[in-house]
Amino acid sequence: MSSPALPRRALPIGRLRTPSYSVQARPVANQWPLFHQALPSLRVNRSFTTSRQLKSDSAAPDTEPQEPGIDLPRMEKFVEQLQPELRSDQFRPRDLETKYLETILPKDKVAKMVETTASTAQLRRELDNIHRVYHLSKHIARDPLSVPLSLPRPWVSNFKVQIEDGRVSMNGIEIPNIWLRDNCQCSSCMHADTKQRLLDTFDISADVSITSHENTPDGIRLTWSDGHTSEYTNRFIGRSTAPAKKRVGNRIGLADSLTLWDSSIASFPPIIGYSHLASKKSESATAALKGLLSNIRRFGFSYIDGVPADPRTTKSLLERIAFIRTTHYGGFYDFTADLASKDTAYTNIALGAHTDNTYFSDPAGLQAFHLLSHTDGSGGASLLVDGFKIAQDLKAQDRDAYEILSLVMVHAHASGNQGISIQPYRGFPVLQHDLETGYLLQLRWNTSDRARIELPIDQVGKWYDAARKWDALVKKKENEYWEQLRPGRVLIFDNWRVMHGRSAFTGKRRICGGYINRDDWISKFKILRDGQESVLEHLATD
Ligand SMILES: C[N+](C)(C)CCCC[C@H](N)C(=O)O
Ligand SMILES: O=C(O)CCC(=O)C(=O)O
Mutate to test the pocket of ligand 2, among 369, 382, 449 (most ligand atoms within 8 A of CB): 369
Distance CA 58, CA 5 (A): 21
Mutate to test the pocket of ligand 1, among 314, 336, 356, 445 (most ligand atoms within 8 A of CB): 356
Distance CA 516, CA 302 (A): 15
Q: Is the ipTM of this complex over 0.95?
A: yes
Cβ of 345 closer than 6 Å to ligand 2, yes or no, is yes
CATH 3.30.2020.30 region(s) of the chain?
162-241
From ligand 1's centre to the CA of 347, what distance in Å?
11
What is the H or E stretch that residue 522 is in? Answer: helix 518-530
User: In Å, how far from its chain's centre is CA 542?
Assistant: 21
What is the pLDDT, as a whole number, of residue 88? 73
In total, the chain counts a number of residues equal to: 542
Cβ of 329 closer than 6 Å to ligand 1, yes or no, is yes
Distance CA 163, CA 168 (A): 5
8 Å CB contact between 480 and 386: no
Cα radius of gyration rounded to whole Å, the chain:
32
User: Which long-range contacts (C-beta less than 8 Å, at least 24 apart) are formed by 58-65?
Assistant: 58/12, 59/11, 59/12, 60/9, 60/10, 60/11, 60/12, 62/9, 64/9, 64/10
Nearest ligand, CA 416: 1
Q: Show pLDDT as tens, one digit a residue, over the chain (542 residues).
A: 444 333 333 322 233 232 222 333 333 334 455 544 544 444 333 232 222 232 333 344 444 434 345 567 777 777 777 777 777 777 776 677 777 778 878 888 888 877 777 666 666 665 555 555 555 554 444 444 456 655 555 555 567 788 999 999 988 899 999 999 999 999 999 999 999 999 999 999 999 999 999 999 989 999 999 999 999 998 899 889 888 777 777 788 887 778 999 999 999 999 999 999 999 889 999 999 999 999 999 999 999 999 999 999 999 999 999 999 999 999 999 999 999 999 999 999 999 999 999 999 999 999 999 999 999 999 999 999 999 999 999 998 998 899 899 989 999 999 999 999 999 999 999 999 887 778 889 999 999 999 999 999 999 999 999 999 999 999 999 999 999 999 999 999 999 999 999 999 999 999 999 999 999 999 999 999 999 998 998 899 98
Cβ of 333 closer than 6 Å to ligand 1, yes or no, is yes
Distance CA 404, CA 445 (A): 14
Cβ of 502 closer than 6 Å to ligand 2, yes or no, is yes
How many CB atoms lie under 10 A from the CB of residue 63?
A: 5
What is the pLDDT, as a whole number, of residue 115? 76
User: Is the C-alpha dihedral spanning 287, 293, 296, 297 positive or negative?
Assistant: negative
Distance CA 104, CA 498 (A): 62
Contacts for 461 with CB less than 8 Å, ≥ 6 apart: none
Instruction: Determine the 3-state secondary structure of 181 from DSSP.
Output: helix
Asked if CATH classification 3.30.70.270 holds for the domain at 162-241, the reply, yes or no, is no
Cβ of 335 closer than 6 Å to ligand 1, yes or no, is yes
Distance CA 414, CA 361 (A): 12
Phi and psi for 406 in degrees, rounded to 5?
A: -95, -20
Distance CA 383, CA 503 (A): 8
Mutate to test the pocket of ligand 1, among 329, 367, 420, 450 (most ligand atoms within 8 A of CB): 329
Cβ of 222 closer than 6 Å to ligand 2, yes or no, is no
From ligand 1's centre to the CA of 345, what distance in Å?
6
What is the pLDDT, as a whole number, of residue 244? 79
Distance CA 237, CA 235 (A): 5
What is the 8-class DSSP label of residue 109?
A: H
Phi and psi for 29 in degrees, rounded to 5?
A: -45, -50
Question: What atom of ligand 1 comes closest to residue 357's alpha carbon?
Answer: 13
Q: Residue type at 40?
A: P
Mutate to test the pocket of ligand 2, among 356, 502, 503, 509 (most ligand atoms within 8 A of CB): 502
Nearest ligand, CA 327: 1
User: In Å, how far from its chain's centre is CA 520?
Assistant: 19
How many CB atoms lie under 10 A from the CB of residue 377?
A: 13
What is the pLDDT, as a whole number, of residue 19? 27
Distance CA 282, CA 288 (A): 10
Distance CA 4, CA 71 (A): 7
